[in-house]
Homo-oligomer: A and B are copies of this chain.
Amino acid sequence: MTTVDEVSRPSRLAEPDEAISAEELQLAARNHGIPLEALRYDLTPAGLHYLLIHYDIPDLDPAGHTLRVDGAVARPLTLDLADLRARPRVTHRVTLECAGNGRALLHPRPVSQPWLVEAVGNAEWTGTPLAPLLREAGLDADAVDVVFTGADHGVERGVEQDYQRALPVADALREEVLLAYEMNGAPLLPQHGAPLRLIVPGWYGMAHVKWLRSISVLTEPFTGYQNAVAYRLRQDAGDPGVPVTRIEPRALVRPPGFPDFMSRTRVLRPGPCTLDGRAWSGHAPVVAVEVTTDGGATWAPATLDEPTGGEFAWRRWRYEWDARPGRYVLSARATDASGRTQPVEQPWNRGGFANNVVQRVEVAVIST
């Protein structure tokens, strides 16, 4: 008898000397990060925003697509896209980051989508706020969680499922949470959740359910796979862990100069060089970015550009560097208004989530 257990194995950590497996490469070939030079764009262009798709991009017809709102509500609702577009329309500029960003740099390495540092993007999401819709449906007084179900279907660690994630009621009612149907002023692309997705500003990407088809209100905590099993911070397999929620602060350096094709090491000619990049946090606005050009021995403050998109969008930083011949390792680290700052030693957990250790950019300033 053939069963899903044959094709779907438990999660595991890589052996200390184990390089990237064929399965990890297969994921890397389909899910991609932002090419780091694209940190130059405040708004990430279509196709350069990071993507993490658990199963397949589903084949949905926008004309027939509906959103069902039900469960512990007084008035269940069914809306099509015209209904949603007829509701109040708002746009938020939001930085999305995959909760697994940085995973492939961890020791030991959790075996999953092997991100380095590039699983991020910043886009304008247009749609209608979720909270008024929930209030129209009438949440029961004892509502606890709101479950968002996408149309993408697959198997994960032996569990066949539609992709589903729940938010606590208080988070679902935050005014900036959106049912989004446009990205950067155009209809959503298939890979970004067309025709409808959830946007939860400040949270890691797993919360922003794509291909959204239903919202169901529960009076008990949701026990589905993506909340109860997958996206949890735990130190070992037996640890129940805590949920992955908001984005930890991170700064990225836009690599200066030009690259070597294979090593991606940067080559730069000597002289004054403005280093720049982006910094963000889902907990609170970024208030400081520091830069090191000596691999972390010393840090100096960068200047922050004016915010361009509210508290959930990344912010540009700049640092003037006098580049002299030699080899360098550049890093930047962000601190937010909640006091969180990026660590220089890896924060490790078994899923490889919310890992915001500082990036290292290798640069050769050449004398010829």
Interface residues of A (CB under 8 A from B): 1-4, 6-9, 18-33, 35-38, 40-41, 45-49, 51, 53-57, 59, 104, 111-112, 114-116, 118, 153-157, 160, 189-191, 255, 258-265, 267, 325-327, 362, 364-368
- Per CB-CB distance, the 8 closest pairs between chain A and chain B, nearest first, are A47-B47, A19-B19, A32-B32, A20-B20, A7-B265, A37-B56, A28-B28, A156-B261
B residues less than 8 Å from A325 (CB atoms): 1-2
B residues less than 8 Å from A259 (CB atoms): 55-56, 154-155
B residues less than 8 Å from A53 (CB atoms): 35
B residues less than 8 Å from A116 (CB atoms): 25-26, 29
Given A28-B25, A104-B25, A364-B7, does the pair A261, B2 have CB atoms closer than 8 Å?
no
Given A2-B325, A189-B46, does the pair A20, B25 have CB atoms closer than 8 Å?
yes
Q: Which residue of B lies closest to A26 (CB)?
A: B264
Is B38 in contact with A57, judged by CB distance below 8 angstroms? yes
Is B2 in contact with A326, judged by CB distance below 8 angstroms? yes
Is A260 in contact with B8, judged by CB distance below 8 angstroms? yes
Q: Give the distance in Å from the alpha carbon of A264 to the alpha carbon of B55 in the complex.
A: 8
B residues less than 8 Å from A2 (CB atoms): 325-327, 364-367
B residues less than 8 Å from A31 (CB atoms): 32
Smallest Cβ distance from A242 to chain B, in angstroms? 22
Is A7 in contact with B57, judged by CB distance below 8 angstroms? no
Is A21 in contact with B23, judged by CB distance below 8 angstroms? no
B residues less than 8 Å from A6 (CB atoms): 327, 364
B residues less than 8 Å from A264 (CB atoms): 23, 26-27
Smallest Cβ distance from A85 to chain B, in angstroms? 21
Q: Give the distance in Å from the alpha carbon of A181 to the alpha carbon of B49 in the complex.
A: 22
Is B25 in contact with A368, judged by CB distance below 8 angstroms? no
B residues less than 8 Å from A24 (CB atoms): 20, 25
Is B260 in contact with A115, judged by CB distance below 8 angstroms? no
B residues less than 8 Å from A368 (CB atoms): 1, 3
B residues less than 8 Å from A364 (CB atoms): 2-4, 6-7
Smallest Cβ distance from A20 to chain B, in angstroms? 4
Q: Give the distance in Å from the alpha carbon of A243 to the alpha carbon of B132 in the complex.
A: 62
Is B7 in contact with A267, judged by CB distance below 8 angstroms? yes
Identify which of B48, B153, B156 contacts A190 (C-beta below 8 A).
B48
Smallest Cβ distance from A3 to chain B, in angstroms? 6
Is B261 in contact with A9, judged by CB distance below 8 angstroms? no
Given A260-B4, A368-B3, does the pair A118, B267 have CB atoms closer than 8 Å?
no
Smallest Cβ distance from A5 to chain B, in angstroms? 10
